[in-house]
């Protein structure tokens, strides 16, 4: 950016933040200003959607559509040793989602969250009571977020797992050194249980690293043909 452009932008930003502050001070309960009387306590089930918190989102350019995506689709550095298939991310799939104007919510990597980056024996670790406790905590947070987007009237297009993973596999998973094939990863299995328990009908599909076109075709049908 040229020096002159930079100066103009700085002046604009300064001006607009002063204007916003002035507006806030002069209009006690305008949109975007929190009301001290609102109850933000969170009940035990973790969902705090209340009618007074429901907002109108139609005043700007946002698409109102989001998709939840396995962490490593956006960050291959979370993969277990020797398992990254790309330098950084699934470019083809992400390029499609971006062009389709769907917001991406990157799910936390369940293996990293429960077992760390240098993990071994993933399935054993996740099925262990200590691993399962952390995993269920993570899934609770996810359910909370899904419910909030739905409560606010947005569309949750789907959840994209990662085929072949012992955690995020949807149709194909890894059991141990001598076994992999059809089946679900531990995270996806538990997530689907929680979705059912909460009556959340969100499609869950898996992306295979070298068949991203299949996930794209699914998205195309979901977004534009249904
Ligand atoms: S656990 Fe899931 S998100 Fe994490 S690296 Fe494996 S497939 Fe990716």
Locate 146 and state its tokens.
């899904």
How far apart are the CA of 219 and the centre of ligand 1, in A? Answer: 21
CA 109–ligand 1 middle distance (angstroms): 5
Averaged pLDDT, 1-21: 47
> What percentage of the chain has pLDDT greater than the value 90?
73
171, 182 in Cβ contact below 8 A?
A: yes
The rounded percent of the chain whose pLDDT value lies above 70 is 80
User: From the CA of 140, how far away is ligand 1's center (Å)?
Assistant: 18
Average pLDDT of the segment spanning 7-29: 44
Strands (E), 27-87: 65-69
Please give the structure tokens belonging to residue 153. Answer: 């009237």
Which pLDDT does position 29 carry in this prediction? 40
Two tokens at 173? Answer: 């998973």
| pLDDT single digits (tens) 32-44 | 455 567 677 777 6
Place of tokens 């330098």: 87
Strand order across the 103-106 sheet: 103-106, 65-69, 155-162, 204-207
Q: What is the pLDDT of residue 107?
A: 98
Query: From CA 28, how far away is CA 13, in angstroms rounded?
Result: 23
- The model's pLDDT over 153-183, given as tens digits with 9 standing for 90+, comes to 999 999 999 999 999 999 999 998 888 899 9
Per-residue pLDDT at 225: 81
pLDDT value at 19 more than 80 = no
CA of 190 to the centre of ligand 1 (A): 15
Indicate the top mutation candidate among 73, 75, 78 to test ligand 1's pocket, ranked by most ligand atoms within 8 A of CB. Answer: 78
In the chain the first and final C-alpha atoms are separated, in Å, by 44
> Which atom from ligand 1 is nearest to the alpha carbon of 78?
5
Domain range list for the chain: 66-225
Distance (angstroms) between ligand 1 centre and the Cα of 192 equals: 16
pLDDT digits (tens, 9 = 90+) for 185-197: 999 999 999 999 9
Is the CB of residue 159 below 6 angstroms from any atom belonging to ligand 1?
no
Least confident of 14-23, 57-66, 121-130, 208-217: 14-23
Confidence of residue 209 (pLDDT cuts 50, 70, 90): very high
Query: How remote is the CA of residue 191 from the centroid of ligand 1, in Å?
Result: 14
- Whether residue 133 has pLDDT greater than 80: yes
pLDDT per residue as tens digits for the range 55-64:
999 999 999 9
**Is residue 45 pLDDT above 70, yes or no?**
no
Whether ligand 1 lies within 6 angstroms of the CB of 167 is answered as: yes
Residue nearest to atom 5 of ligand 1 (CA): 79
Taking only Cα atoms into account, the Rg of the chain, rounded to an integer number of angstroms, comes to 21
Sign of CA dihedral 210, 213, 214, 215: positive
For residue 134, the model assigns a pLDDT of 97
Mean pLDDT of the chain: 86
Nearest to 50 by CA among 148, 130, 116: 148
Asked whether the predicted pLDDT for residue 184 surpasses 50, the reply is: yes
Nearest CA to ligand 1 atom 8: 72
């Amino acid at each position: 950016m040229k020096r002159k452009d930079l100066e103009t932008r700085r002046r604009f930003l300064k001006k607009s933040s002063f204007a916003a502050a002035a507006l806030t001070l002069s209009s006690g309960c305008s949109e975007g200003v929190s009301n001290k009387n609102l109850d933000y306590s969170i009940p035990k089930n973790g969902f705090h959607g209340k009618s007074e918190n429901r907002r109108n989102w139609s005043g700007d350019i946002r698409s109102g559509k989001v998709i939840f995506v396995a962490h490593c689709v956006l960050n291959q550095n979370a993969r277990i040793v020797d398992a990254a298939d790309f330098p950084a991310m699934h470019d083809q799939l992400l390029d499609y989602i971006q062009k389709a104007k769907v917001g991406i919510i990157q799910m936390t990597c369940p293996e990293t969250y429960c077992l760390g980056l240098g993990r071994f024996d993933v399935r054993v670790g996740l099925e262990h009571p200590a691993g399962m406790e952390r995993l269920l905590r993570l899934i609770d947070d996810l359910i909370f977020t899904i419910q909030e987007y739905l409560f606010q009237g947005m569309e949750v297009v789907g959840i994209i797992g990662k085929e072949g993973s012992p955690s995020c596999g949807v149709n194909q998973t890894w059991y141990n050194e001598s076994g992999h094939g059809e089946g679900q990863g531990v995270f996806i299995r538990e997530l689907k249980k929680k979705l059912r328990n909460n009556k959340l009908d969100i499609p869950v599909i898996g992306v295979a690293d070298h068949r991203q076109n299949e996930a794209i075709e699914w998205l195309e049908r979901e977004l534009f043909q249904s």
